[in-house]
Structure 1
Amino acid sequence: MKLLTLIRHAKSSWSHPHLSDHDRPLNRRGRHDAPMMGLHLKTRHLVISRMLSSTATRAVQTATLIAQPLDYPTDKIQTLTTLYAASARQLLEVIRQQEDGDHLALVGHNPGISELAAQLANTSTHDMPTCAVLQLKFDLSHWETIATHSGHIQFYDTPKHAFNQ
């Protein structure tokens, strides 16, 4: 059995027009929501084997702020340039290349992360707003064998529903 936790980065700032899209940081709401989501996920007793993040500033900040309350070592977050602006197909390829840890968390961007969720889940999924988390369970032994529409939704959380914003 494998668990895949898909996380869309938290709300980012548009107040720095001189920054590239890749370098945009989280805004105040994002800096609030990400650690709150980490605390919320801690109540679900998540034990992550590996966390991957896009190299975009807002994704790395989200990964770090979620990892801390989960006691996941932030220096173990693996950043991949291929996750920035990745399509669902590209994200799936990254997942298939992973070693066989039992619980993989992936922090990325829309539209790819929402499209991947829709492709992997065996039922319909919601679009993933900022800082949304979707966990899927797969009956497989190796990530390389992950198939579309084979994931069983374990939970879907958004900041609005997780801590009643």
Structure 2
Amino acid sequence: MKTLTLLRHAKSGWDDAVARDFDRPLNTKGRRAAGMIGRHLRQSALEFDRVYASPAVRVMETLDEVWDGYGRRREPVWDQRMYLASAATLLDGIVRLPDAAARVLLVGHNPGLEDLVLKLARASAFRDAVAEKYPTASVAELTFDVDHWSQVIPGGAVLTRFVRPRDLDPTLGPDTP
């Protein structure tokens, strides 16, 4: 059994004057949401053998806040290929994951993460919710009944969890500052 947890970076600040999209930081709401997701991961007793993440500033800051809420840090493998990666690029990396890692956390960007969930997950209410929208700082957990990551195929996952920040705190919904 393999478990893949996907975390979209938290809400970033479009008001900050940065030269490159890569350098955009989180805004205040994003920091709050990421910390809340970290606490949720801890309360849900989720564990990760490995963490892979885009090296974009907003992903790094998301992980800092998540780890603060989670109560301990996991050092990620920073992978430039994950920056704004497509579902196909992400899947190419997943099938190459080391088999010793049973529970992997991937932290990145949309639309790649949303497209990846839709590509991998079987039909379910959670999948329908992802298809509607995969908001910032949301977590999707996929399980695969396989022994090797190379056996992961489209439609082969059960989407066991989809949590949005607003599910944990309504003030983190889309219509609140």
TM band (smaller chain):
over 0.9
Instruction: Report the counterpart of residue 86 of structure 1 in structure 2.
Output: 85
C-alpha deviation, 1:94, in angstroms? 1.1
Instruction: Report the counterpart of residue 10 of structure 1 in structure 2.
Output: 10
> Are 1:131 and 2:130 counterparts?
no
Rounded to whole Å, the distance in 2 between the matches of 1:116 and 1:91 is 7
Relative to the length of structure 2, the TM-score reads 0.88
Q: Is the 8 A contact 1:120 1:148 kept in 2?
A: yes
The percent of aligned pairs where both chains have the same amino acid is 35
Q: Which amino acid aligns with 1:78?
A: V
1:43-54 to structure 2, matched below 5 A, reads 43-54=43-54
Structure 2 residue matching 1:131: 3-state secondary structure: coil
Unaligned runs of 5+ in 2: 172-177
Check 1:72–1:147 CA distance in 2 against 1; reply closer, same or farther (3 A cut).
Answer: farther
Rounded to whole Å, the distance in 2 between the matches of 1:89 and 1:16 is 31
Q: Is the 8 A contact 1:46 1:70 kept in 2?
A: no
Structure 2 residue matching 1:7: 3-state secondary structure: strand
Instruction: Report the counterpart of residue 168 of structure 2 in structure 1.
Output: 162
1:10-159 to structure 2, matched below 5 A, reads 10-74=10-74, 76-100=75-99, 101-123=101-123, 125=127, 126=130, 127-159=133-165
Q: Which amino acid aligns with 1:142?
A: H
What RMSD over aligned residues (CA atoms) do the two structures have, in Å?
1.3
Unaligned runs of 5+ in 1: none
Q: Which amino acid aligns with 2:73?
A: P
Instruction: Report the counterpart of residue 175 of structure 2 in structure 1.
Output: none
Rounded to whole Å, the distance in 2 between the matches of 1:8 and 1:150 is 21
Q: Which amino acid aligns with 2:162?
A: Y
Rounded to whole Å, the distance in 1 between the matches of 2:104 and 2:76 is 11
C-alpha deviation, 1:72, in angstroms? 4.7
**Number of residue-to-residue matches in the alignment:** 164
